[in-house]
Amino acid sequence: MVVVMTPDATDEDVQRVVDKVTAVGGEAFVSKGLTRTIIGLVGDIDSFHGLNLRTLPGVGDVQRISDPFKLVSRQHHPERSTVWVGAPGQQVPIGPDTFTFIAGPCAVESAQQTLEAVEMARAAGAVMMRGGAYKPRTSPYAFQGLGVKGLEILASVREATGMPVVTEVVDARDVAVVAEHADMLQIGTRNMANFGLLQAVGQAGKPVLLKRGMTATIEEWLMAAEYIAQRGNLDVVLCERGIRTFEPATRNTLDISAVPIVQSKSHLPVIVDPSHAAGVKDLVVPLSRAAIAVGADGVIVDVHPHPEEALCDGPQALLGADLRSLAQAVRQLPPTVGRVDAGTARR
C-alpha cells in the first residue's frame, strides 16, 4: 500500500503513520517530495486495513497496490485451471485447452420444449445444456420459473441426452435442491454480490458458473469468486455477460476485453454469454465468433424451438440459420486459437 500525504501534512502527521504501521509489524518507507510526501507500506496488508489510515490527519489518500483476491489469483497459481462438470463418464472440461459450447433454453417451460431445445443445441455442437428453473425477473408480474419441477425436467433431459446441466440458483435456501439435480450451479448477474448465496454455493460440492454483475468491475467479480473459493470450492468458472453503459443499442455492452484480463489475473476459466449481453438474436453469432477469437474458454447461448412462444427472452433465442452459423463458427474457429472441442476431451 502507498499512503499519499496532503500537501500541508506536517512531520508529525508523517511520523504518526509510520508509528501505526510499525506497531503492527509493518515497514514504512518515506519518500519526501517537493509538494507531497508518500509512504510505501510493506508487510501484511490485512493488518494495515484495521489501521484506518485514511482517517488520520494529513493523510490524503491510501492506494492499494496488490490485488485483493488471493485464492483465485494467478499470482500464486500461474497455471490456468480446468473445471470439470458432470458425472464421471460424461464429464466436460472448461479450461485453457478446450472450447466448451453450452446451449439450451433461457427458461424451462415444459419437458417437451426443453428436450427440443437441447436436441437443437446438441445438433449444433453443444456439449453442455443450460436452462432456468428459477428466473429472477425485474417485474414481479413476469414468469418466475417452474422451480423444483423445472429442475426435474432438466434432470430428465440430461438422462435422455447425456449432457451435463447448468442452472441458476437465486436463493440460499434453494442451494441444496438445485445441487441435487444440477451438475453446475449458476450465480446470475443480479446476485453476484449476494454474499450469503456465494458462501452457500461455496459449500454445495458442485462447480459454480459465476456471471459478472452487470455493474461490477473485474476486480469485484474476482472478489465474488474469492467468496466462493474461501468456502472451499475452487471449481468456479467466470462468465462475462455484458456491463451497463450509456449505449442503448444493446441491452448491455459485452466487455470482450474482460476475457484476456481475467485470464491474466486469475487461473479460473472464463466463458462468454453473448445472448444476454446483446438481447437480440442477430448479434449472437458475431459476438460468439468474437468470444472464440479473443480466447474465451467457452460460450453459453440461448436456443428455443419456438421463440415466439418463449416465456422469457424469446427475442434473443437462436434457431434455424443462425444456429447453423454458430455451429460452423464453433467447429471452425477454436483450432485457430489452439483449442479442441471440449466434447472430444470428455472423461
**Of residues 209-248, those binding a copy of itself (CB under 8 A):** 213-215, 217-220, 223, 226-227, 230, 243-248
Q: Which stretch binds a copy of itself (CB under 8 A): 30-38, 87-95, 159-167, 339-347?
A: 30-38
Closer Cβ to a copy of itself, 54 or 149, answer by number: 54
Q: How many CB atoms lie within 10 A of CB 172?
A: 16
Helix (H) or strand (E) holding 102: strand 98-104
C-alpha cell at 246: 450509456
- In this chain, which of 166, 175, 277, 326 binds a copy of itself, going by CB under 8 A? 277
Nearer to a copy of itself, 7 or 205 (CB): 7
Distance, CA of 22 to chain centre: 39
Q: Which stretch binds a copy of itself (CB under 8 A): 88-96, 100-108, 157-165, 189-197?
A: 189-197
Rounded to a whole number of angstroms, the minimum distance from the CB of residue 314 to a copy of itself is 5
307-326 footprint of a copy of itself as x/- string (CB under 8 A): xxxxx--xx-x---------
Report the residue number, 102 or 277, with the smaller CB distance to a copy of itself. 277
Binding of residue 47 to a copy of itself (CB under 8 A): no
Full strand arrangement of the beta sheet holding 2-5: 27-32, 37-42, 2-5, 59-63
3-state secondary structure of 164: coil
The answer to whether 217 touches 255, Cβ cutoff 8 Å, is no
Q: Which residues from 75-94 bind a copy of itself, rule CB under 8 A?
A: 75
Q: What is the DSSP letter of 32?
A: E
C-alpha cell at 43: 508487510
User: Exactly one of 173, 176, 320, 338 binds a copy of itself (CB under 8 A); which one?
Assistant: 173
Segment contacting a copy of itself by CB under 8 A, of 122-130, 153-161, 164-172, 233-241? 164-172
Q: Using CA atoms, how far apart are residues 133 and 169, in angstroms rounded to an integer?
A: 8
Q: Count the neighbouring beta carbons within 10 Å of the beta carbon of residue 46.
A: 9
Pick between residue 152 and residue 171 the one whose CB is nearest to a copy of itself: 171
292 binds a copy of itself (CB under 8 A): yes
Q: How many residues line the site for a copy of itself (CB under 8 A)? A: 100
Minimum distance from residue 274 beta carbon to a copy of itself (Å): 9
Restricted to residues 97-126, the positions that interact with a copy of itself (CB under 8 A) are none
Nearest distance from C-beta of residue 158 to a copy of itself, angstroms: 26
* CB-based burial label for 159 (10 Å; 0-12, 13-18, 19+): exposed
Give phi and psi for 28, each to the nearest 5: -130, 120
Element housing 93 (H / E): strand 92-94
User: Cα–Cα distances in Å, from 120 out to 77, 181, 193, 273, 329?
Assistant: 38, 22, 34, 18, 16
Q: Tell me which stretch binds a copy of itself (CB under 8 A): 119-127, 157-165, 232-240, 277-285.
A: 277-285
- Residue 171 or 346: the one with the smaller Cβ distance to a copy of itself is 171
